[in-house]
Amino acid sequence: MARPKIALIGGGQIGGVLAQLAALRELGDVVMFDIVEGMPQGKMLDLAEASPVDGFDVELKGTNDYKDIEGSDMVIVTAGLPRKPGMSRDDLIEVNSKIMTQVSEGIKQYAPNSFVIIISNPLDAMVTLCQKITGFPSERVMGQAGVLDSARFETFIAWELGVSVKDVTAMTLGGHGDTMVPLVRYASVKGIPVMELLEQKYGSAAKAQEVMDAMVERTKKAGGEVVALLKTGSAFYSPASSAIAMAESILKDQKRVLPTCALLKGEYGVDNYYVGVPCVLGANGVEKIIEFKLNDEEQAMFDNSVNAVKELVGSMKM
Ligand code: TXD
């Protein structure tokens, strides 16, 4: 049986880590495409030369020709510019939508049966554009934001409570911007509500709330925190890990429940917009959008985030 073929469109910071993770986990053969001549070829040669040491056995190729992505089962897109300090994700829309248009045409032509995971920012708009141009069914075109935003929230909770990150579960919903909605009510340590543990730690509900509010704020601004430190780019390890979790769930039909930027067709009262919600990812891509009841406050925050996505998508020339 042939190994799955994974195409990475964009071989920059995130693209490089994606290639390494996909190879280490032997998810399939990897082709890295970039417009910079020599760079994807050099990175994939370098990575191939690590294979005897790490013991992974997959084919790796770097290219500047879309033809080489032919027949890919999975395409992960990071092509585009990252943020610089002081920029919002939305500031990237003009330049990155031009890039996403070219990329989507390449995918449509050479990998018409692929699953596509978009990482490029502004995420919600870039996924929308890719699905429009490729015309692929929405189960096959999705965006990565929620796995990372949730992981950031989980990281801060684990640090605060002094417990392993493995035992923390938390989720963010909505768009991949400052309006994202970290769900406090369902954040737990092995099922025990985080708010209860914070109250035990601080001895008062008010102080627990204050600490939680600070973690929620840090989660919403976590991407910017990394940008401000790096100065020359944005986060790359964690976005790559997050997209690989999604790709792996599809390629291995794991049916993991992962917050995914998926096209809503009436779910959560949203019609025809890509928004982050929990989804089952398996061999058929986005196999199920999981709906659950939000309370009034959560619904209001979710609606606010959806409105920001609508405004962003509306500002894009399509
Ligand atoms: O969680 C998330 N979704 C994100 C998204 C978290 C962090 C960063 N996120 C966004 O991913 C970021 O704002 C960017 O839009 C993308 C890629 O970030 P990365 O850090 O990998 O950027 P790089 O290192 O600049 O790499 C981008 C590559 C670079 O090598 C360019 O030459 C290439 O994209 N590029 C292209 N490739 C193919 N085709 C075209 N047209 C093209 N233009 C640029």
Residue 159 and residue 235 share a domain: yes
Q: Is the domain of 160 the same as that of 287? A: yes
Active site residue 176: yes
> pLDDT by residue (tens digit) across 219-278?
999 999 999 999 999 999 999 999 999 999 999 999 999 999 999 999 999 999 999 999
Task: State the catalytic residue, choosing from 61, 176, 219, 279.
Answer: 176
Last residue of some domain: 144, 159, 177?
Answer: 144
Give the chain's domain count.
2
**Ligand 1 pocket residues where CB is under 6 Å:** 9-15, 34-36, 78-83, 92, 96, 99, 102-103, 119-121, 123, 144-145, 148, 176, 233-236, 239
299-317: pLDDT as tens digits: 999 999 999 999 999 998 7
Of 290, 52, 262, 256, nearest to 174 (Cα)? Answer: 262
- 122 and 150 housed in the same domain: no
Q: Is 310 helix (H, G, I), strand (E, B) or coil?
A: helix
pLDDT at 112: 98
Return the ligand 1 atom nearest residue 126 CA. 15
Task: Please indicate, yes or no, whether residues 195 and 237 belong to a single structural domain of this protein.
Answer: yes
- Are residue 84 and residue 159 in the same domain, yes or no? no
Q: Are residues 130 and 182 in the same domain?
A: no
pLDDT band at 86 (very low <50, low <70, confident <90, very high): confident
Percent of the chain with pLDDT over 90: 94
Q: Same domain for 99 and 239?
A: no
Same domain, yes or no: 132 and 268: no
Q: What residues make up the domain containing 23? A: 5-144
The answer to whether 34 is annotated as binding is yes
Tell me which of 144, 167, 188 is where a domain ends: 144
Annotated binding residue 120: yes
Chain mean position to CA 295 = 26
If you measure from the C-alpha of residue 115 to the centroid of ligand 1, how many angstroms do you get, rounded to a whole number?
19
Q: How many CB atoms lie within 10 A of CB 87?
A: 15
Residues 213, 308 share a domain: yes
Q: Is 96 annotated as a binding residue?
A: yes
Whether 81 and 187 share a structural domain:
no
Which CATH number goes with the domain that contains 250?
3.90.110.10
Give Cα 276 distance to the centre of its chain.
Answer: 10
Residues 69 and 33 in one domain: yes
134-138: list long-range contacts, CB under 8 Å, 24+ apart: 134/104, 134/107, 134/108, 135/108, 136/108, 136/112, 138/262, 138/263, 138/265, 138/286
By alpha-carbon position, which residue is closest to atom 6 of ligand 1?
239
- What is the overall mean pLDDT for the chain? 97
Q: What is the pLDDT of residues 96-113, one digit of tens each?
A: 999 999 999 999 999 999
CATH of the domain at 76: 3.40.50.720
| Euclidean distance between CA atoms 240 and 277, whole angstroms | 19
Q: What's the 145 CA to ligand 1 centre distance in angstroms?
A: 14
Last residue in a domain, options 110, 126, 144: 144
Same domain assignment for residues 151 and 263: yes
Distance from the alpha carbon of residue 9 to the mean position of ligand 1, in angstroms: 9
Query: Could you tell me the distance, in angstroms and rounded to a whole number, from the CA of residue 164 to the centre of ligand 1?
Result: 31
